[in-house]
Amino acid sequence: MIINAINIKKVYRSNIESNVVLSDLNFQLNFGEIVAIQGASGSGKSTLLNILGMLDTSDDGELFIENKRITSIDDIEATRSKVIGFLFQFHHLLPEFTVIENLLIPLMLDVHSKKQDNIGWCEELLGTLNLMQLKHRLPSELSGGERQRIAFLRSLISKPKFILADEPTGNLDNENTQILLELITTFRDKYNIAFIIATHDDNVTKICDRILKLKDGKLHHIKGID
């Protein structure tokens, strides 16, 4: 098991009211599993992904990543860059950097890594998608589908155990949606990477082992073994 989230609670407070977004929520993720999380806008899908990705903290509950309880900033920093990849609706590629530079940036955080090894790994990933000819181009010189494929490769660059994807097909046409979904299943099978995908897209749910619906602060089982 990669993730075990127990009794997660998140409350947003203002001067006027408190809004309970997640309430005693429990979630587990296994290696190589693809899980969809559905729910109405504002139901807390992005909040949940941010907590599981350690970009935000819960107000209560426990989070275990690979059986290690996450309790401090040190735990977060030691775990996040090595275990988790992120894929979003918009590519968030840095416009002033080339494709290969965008891929290299996350690897620069590892002071023990070797630049030539990092370049080799980036080129290997580009080669798997026949995108080597794009490596010196800027994001503005790519099509929308190409930008999203590069963003997908960037989510893999640190060889994560799981990837959090927030509406990854929301900005894609049907052809590029199908390409991205094929990439997800291919790389899941090749590297045993798990995916948690927050989505409204029925095309996405077709490739998922489980479908969960977030409602009233809790996850409800829709499809697959819970």
For the stretch 147-191, pLDDT in tens is: 988 998 999 888 899 999 999 888 888 888 898 899 999 999 999
Domains of the chain as residue ranges with CATH = 3-223 (3.40.50.300)
Query: Which pLDDT value is given to residue 207?
Result: 95
Angstrom distance (rounded) from CA 194 to CA 4:
14
- Are the CB atoms for 164 and 86 separated by under 8 Å? yes
Please name the amino acid found at residue 128. Answer: T
Angstrom distance (rounded) from CA 55 to CA 80:
9
For the stretch 62-93, pLDDT in tens is: 999 999 898 877 777 777 777 899 988 777 89
Task: Tell me the pTM.
Answer: 0.89
Give which of 113, 199, 106, 220 is closest to 156, Cα–Cα. 106
